[in-house]
Homo-oligomer: A and B are copies of this chain.
Amino acid sequence: MARGTGQALGGDSLATLADVARRAGVSPATASRVINGSSKPVADELRERVLSAVAELRYVPNAHAQLLARPQRSVVGVVVHDVSDPYFAEVTRGLQRVATDRGRLVIICNSYRDPERELEYVEMLRGQQVAAIVLAGSGYHDADFTARLTEKLAAYEATGGRVAVIGRHEHPGDAVMPANDVGGRLLGEELLRLGHRQIGVIAGPRVLTTITDRLRGLRAALADGGVTLDDDHVRYADFDRDGGARAAAELLDTVDGLTALVALNDSMAVGALALLRQRGVRVPDQVSVAGFDDMPVAADVTPTLTTVRLPLVELGARAMTLALGPAADRSRVEVLPAELVRRESLGPAPR
């Protein structure tokens, strides 16, 4: 039964339902009924024969043929910025937990923060006939891209697909949002309370709406306390450890008298901490540091990191729940609360 004509993928082809039926001496219809436990009863003897044929041939139904014949969608597509980022690792954990509980298979696609790739994946998932698409990760400040993505998602929804997005809300479908602005505000208020006036901000990539949201909250709180955040006190950096260290170095080198450094995620905060240690700057005695997200590492660095906790696993779980639940008449937006976690890295401003 060799089929390959010298193809890289040579070898015997998979057993088909017809093979099973032939071996069991029944029709494909009967074999099918036995295999999916159809409502229609099958005589015990035939059932036996089919089952042993399945075992002998190691038959596995061709999922594509099944889907074609019975368009029952059970797969969910997830497009995420980067699963190996701890933030998304947590979110993904929540997504998976719910999906698995409901017997759904998840296809995870990494866009690596490339908007074009995000678009491609949505297209591809549509072709895969997935039951739902979940987009996890901040939106982009790019009106053209946003419009194109919205258009694609709308087309998908129009054909019965479900859409849920995490951390952005500028699209059709349900949205689950961490309270980024509130988090920024909490941090700002805490800084004021501790007497900080000269504050440096290590922001992530400028194009991400998450960054804008966090910064807006922070700015607003500081403004309420009479402190304005100059543009040169804000450095945009890569969202990782090294980016944080670089931005911290720049801030220290260009702005005098800083008493606090706020990083808009924990990875960058950890980088800043490392740079400060390397330069012999004591935290928080000389300079305070704060982060964002409360990722596991925050509790293990020295000094432990004051940060804003976002319910990451919950974010994923809620999004998947919405995506798999009944469709709403119109888009829902759920906001999950942020919470300040006080640890050692943020202390009173030195006088």
Contact = CB atoms under 8 A, between A and B. Distances in A.
A133 interface: no
Interface in A259-283: 270, 273-274
Given A105-B124, A241-B296, A11 B160 contact: yes
A13 B159 contact: yes
- With most chain B CB atoms within 10 A of its CB, the pick from A12, A67, A160, A162 is A160
A64 B68 contact: yes
Contacts of A4: 160
A335 interface: no
A126 interface: yes
A126 B84 contact: no
A300 interface: yes
Q: Sorted from nearest, which 9 A-B pairs have the closest CB atoms? A: A302-B302, A11-B160, A84-B89, A64-B64, A63-B127, A58-B155, A108-B108, A9-B160, A84-B93
Interface of A: 4, 7-15, 58, 60-68, 73, 83-86, 89-90, 92-93, 96, 100, 105-110, 123-124, 126-129, 131, 152, 155, 157-162, 241, 270, 273-274, 296-297, 299-302, 326-327
Given A14-B129, A106-B109, A108-B108, 7 more contacts: A9-B160, A14-B159, A61-B127, A62-B129, A84-B89, A84-B93, A297-B297
